[in-house]
Structure 1
Amino acid sequence: MNAQPDHAALTTLVNRFFRSLDERRIDEEWARTYLTDDVRTVTPIGTTEGAAATVRHTATALGRFARTQHVATGVLVDGDPATGHATVSWNAVMTHVHHDATLRQRGAGATPLFTVGAHYETDVVRTPAGWRFHEMRIEPVWTTGEPPVLPEEAHGRTEA
């Protein structure tokens, strides 16, 4: 099997996945398009097991911002896609635009953007419907700006 078509398909999977985050189409159809049913995600704000939990987690995380822009670069495919399994990694810059309410809570001088540079490491599997993410790990490398106001902060409580 020629690895070039698989590499192109996996790069397209990454790019469409990132575009879908910015378009806020996070639902069961989204999960079927990008994830295995037993997907595992490890992010700076939590770990999820299963597609339904990942949908809820992703929708909640994105909902903390007015808009986002996710940019992927340097997609690398390791392993032999002919086996139906591969590792796909890439660098990402994720820009998050705060809600006006967040800026008001942060006060004068609050910056409207929270930007994260990260490294994505994923395991993918070929399903009858095409390539899907089976495991996803997001490792932040740097940030600028402040993260969103979380619910516990909004109520004057911060839990350790």
Structure 2
Amino acid sequence: MSATIELADRVEIAELFARLARLLDDGRIYDINTVYADDVVVRSPRAELHGIEEVLAFLRTSKVEGEHTQHVNSDVLVTVDGDQVRASASQLVHYFRAGEAPHRSSGLRLAYRVVKTPAGWRFREGQLTLAWSKTSP
């Protein structure tokens, strides 16, 4: 891969963060393959997951009845590192029940290695790092 990528590719890669947030907030976990590669590896404080099926299983068992989320991304950065493309973002996640203020919020740092697949750019390997978490009384 060259040291640069096209602007359209950068936009598509940056949009992966928004698409991931939206599908999680909407509960569309079965669309996870629209942002993750089939052989994805995700490491977080809660789990290390290998492949789409493990990610789906984790998301299915993590759902708390009646709880909703709102993911907000910022500081998205797409970089080319030799033959690899990396993307990172800061993320706030608010957990709430319909019509109520959030009862928990977290700040995370997301860092992914990104690959171009026949279906478009996808996250292949990710590290989710918890920066802080706050539970409301």
Q: The TM-score by the shorter chain falls in which range?
A: 0.7 to 0.9
| Runs (5+) with no aligned partner, structure 2 | none
1:54 aligns with 2:44: no
More strand by share: 2
**Does the 8 Å CA contact 2:34/2:122 hold for their aligned counterparts?**
yes
**Does the 8 Å CA contact 2:90/2:110 hold for their aligned counterparts?**
yes
Question: How far apart are 1:3 and its partner, in Å?
Answer: 2.4
Given residue 118 of structure 1, which amino acid in structure 2 is its aligned partner?
A: L
Other structure's SS at 1:64 match: coil
Mapped partners of 2:102, 2:94: distance in 1: 10
Question: How far apart are 1:60 and its partner, in Å?
Answer: 2.3
**Number of aligned positions between the proteins:** 130
Deviations 1:11-47 (A, max 9, x none): 11111111111000012xx132111111111111111
The answer to which structure, 1 or 2, has the higher relative contact order (CA under 8 A, 6+ apart) is 2
Q: Which is higher, the Rg of structure 1 or of structure 2?
A: 1
Q: CA RMSD in A?
A: 2.1
Superposed, 1:138-157 pairs within 5 Å as: 138-145=128-135
Given residue 90 of structure 1, which amino acid in structure 2 is its aligned partner?
A: A
1:125 aligns with 2:110: no
**Aligned residue in 2 for 1:12:** 15
**Does the 8 Å CA contact 1:7/1:77 hold for their aligned counterparts?**
yes
Q: Evaluate the alpha carbon distance shift between residue 55 and residue 80 of structure 1 in structure 2; reply closer, same or farther with a 3 A threshold.
A: same
Q: Percent identity?
A: 28
**Does the 8 Å CA contact 1:64/1:98 hold for their aligned counterparts?**
no
**Aligned residue in 2 for 1:115:** 105
Mapped partners of 1:75, 1:112: distance in 2: 24
- After superposing the two structures, state which structure 1 stretch, 67-76 or 9-18, moved more: 9-18
**Aligned residue in 1 for 2:91:** 92
**Aligned residue in 2 for 1:71:** 72
1:23 aligns with 2:30: no
Question: How far apart are 1:98 and its partner, in Å?
Answer: 5.6
Given residue 3 of structure 1, which amino acid in structure 2 is its aligned partner?
A: E
Deviations 1:49-86 (A, max 9, x none): 1110001112322x1261000000010011169x5x41
| Runs (5+) with no aligned partner, structure 1 | 100-110, 147-160
**Aligned residue in 2 for 1:104:** none
